[in-house]
Amino acid sequence: MSADLVLKSSAVFTALGDRSQPGAVAIAGDRIADVGPVDEVLGRCGEGAEVIDLGDSFVCPGFIDSHLHFHTAAMNRSRLSVFCEGSCAEDCVDALAAVEDARPRDEFMLSYGWYHPLWCNPSLPTRDILDRAYPDRPVCLMGADVHTLWLNSAGLAKLGIDEGSVPPPGGIYRKDASGRLTGIVQETAAFDLFPRIYRFSREEEDEAVAAFIGDLHANGITGVGDLALFALPGADMICDDVFARFDRDGRLDLRVSLFPTALDDLSRARGIEARFAGSRFVRLGGLKQFFDGVTSTHTAWLHEPYANADGPDDVGRPTVAPERMRRLVLGAAAAGYAVRVHTIGDRAVETALDIFAEAIGAYGRPRVGAYGLEHLERIDDGDIPRLAQLGVLANVQPPHATLDPEGTVRDLGRERALRMWPFASYERAGVSYSFGTDAPVVDIDSRAVLYDAVTRRDAVSGLPEGGWAPDERLSAAQAVRAYTRGSAAACGRAEETGTLEPGKLADIAVLDRDIVGSPESPVDPELIRAAEVVMTLVGGKVVYTR
């Protein structure tokens, strides 16, 4: 056996077991040629290979963010937009000064990240606050939930929205008591506007995308699932033309699985599948649909009313009628495509599982992708074994659990809230699950993803003390497996990535310290938060070094 490169370390984690151990990984071309004890691997690969001694660094499969929204996350992280969570609306208005000169005056000034439930005054902001600072320039601030836009008067006018405008079904143009638009646009109304707001020149786009790929590599992330941001036709924000351009020019170095919106017309899915048939980096991973909204706006679809309900009928609602969702999933299944469905409320989860069961019974396993539910923040205990029985993946985002725990208590009551994000229950029930960030909802920090899963605490604040529902904590080995092997399955790439095995692609992350250890001697979780990525390889090529 010949090899081009050998990585040796005291802490190699293949994602096939529950411990890190001394070993070596031999790479030939873009594939893993051998994995095992150092002396054995070196003996088998012969002379000529470059050997990198990584000491006590942690070597594992590259992390795969199974659920993010690539284009929006890239543009938000660029110089064209500014992040502001703030403690009040005025903080976010002040932050806009950083992007006053980033774009032409007739294009939208952009910001993202605000979340009013955490403000000193937890009320939705209004356009008047923005108008005082920017009366003549269009401004759009995207909420942290990505379901809410905050626009000024010039922005509403640029989009042609006035008091007589009718939002699309399921959408909201908020108005005050006098019937005047407040500047808050939510759900499908926001989704409909995104492609008209997030419009950029090729130069702006390429700069942001290249920087974002570099940021992913710096986090040890070697692959992503790019999921439709919205369900409306033409508004999924899956920019396959950008990926095609980067792939053609040799600038990609990232495994990208695309999940456009599941529609009655499958021509877009077929077109993406054909377009990237020969690509080493881009492929169709399946399709995406949305069954409900989010708990913070009472749009997640529940069995029982919200704890702070406006009335007995305040249980959220499906964004797609169940019968239509059934037609979409079965239509995709007939063509061999799996659908991943946004389901945050327990009723949405249960109904989606019923539809998946019918699809599997009628058509078997899909040719492209794997059936999955996204987020599953509130799931009935009885539906957890159903996930395992049906082989439906739970595609979850650990940092979501610590974004606003008390907000979930406010909305659902403590008993239901403490059963949210049941990661350890998935493990015990034999459910296949994956990790992602839902970026731009939360940052792409890979260590934060793992830390939150292992401690059930926020990686920045360390709160809540003791962890949110600590019985649902995972071991570090379980968390890394979910973020590698589990995410590879969610992205339809289990046959080629996600573990360190001969024949798999040499997509590898190296951290400066062991973050797993062994069941007998687990690593202190605080070391996960402090760890740094020192090297990332994609297809055997070093794409990042610290």
* Gap between the terminal Cα atoms of the chain: 31
pLDDT at 164: 95
Region 176-199: mean pLDDT is 92
Q: Residue 191: which pLDDT band, with cuts at 50, 70 and 90?
A: confident
Q: Can you tell me the distance from the alpha carbon of 484 to that of 507, in angstroms, rounded to the nearest whole number?
A: 10
By DSSP bridging, strand 171-175 and strand 148-151 are: unpaired
Q: Is the pLDDT of residue 145 over 90?
A: no
- Alpha carbon dihedral 152, 187, 422, 365, in 10-degree steps, equals -140
pLDDT at 65: 98
Could you give the domains of the chain?
5-62+502-545 (2.30.40.10), 81-197 (3.10.310.70), 202-490 (3.20.20.140)
Q: Is the pLDDT of residue 347 over 90?
A: yes
- Structure-block tokens of residue 282: 């881009």
Q: Is the pLDDT of residue 230 over 80?
A: no
- Structure-block tokens of residue 148: 């809410």
Q: Can you tell me the distance from the alpha carbon of 346 to that of 379, in angstroms, rounded to the nearest whole number?
A: 5
Region 147-164: mean pLDDT is 96
DSSP, residue by residue, 246-300: HHHTT---SEEEEEPBP-S--HHHHHHHHHTTT-SSEEE--EEEE----GGGT-S
3-state secondary structure of 26: strand
pLDDT tens per residue across span 421-442: 999 999 999 999 999 999 999 9
How far is CA 236 from its chain centroid?
14
Region 183-212: mean pLDDT is 92
Q: Is the pLDDT of residue 46 over 80?
A: no
In this structure, what DSSP letter does residue 482 have? I
Backbone φ/ψ region at 258: left (φ over 0), alpha (ψ -120 to 50), beta: beta
How far is CA 226 from its chain centroid?
8
Place of tokens 């699932």: 225
**Which residues lie below 8 Å from residue 59, measured CB to CB, with a gap of 6+?**
7, 9, 11, 12, 13, 25, 500, 508, 509, 510
Residue 12 φ then ψ, to 5° = -100, 130
- Alpha carbon dihedral 151, 210, 286, 443, in 10-degree steps, equals -60
pTM, 2 dp: 0.93
Half-sphere exposure of 533 (CA within 13 A, CB side): 26
Calculate the average pLDDT of the chain: 95
Q: Residue 403: which pLDDT band, with cuts at 50, 70 and 90?
A: confident
Q: Is the pLDDT of residue 187 over 90?
A: no
3-state secondary structure of 337: strand
Q: Residue 216: which pLDDT band, with cuts at 50, 70 and 90?
A: very high
Q: Is the pLDDT of residue 349 over 80?
A: yes
Q: Is the pLDDT of residue 100 over 90?
A: yes
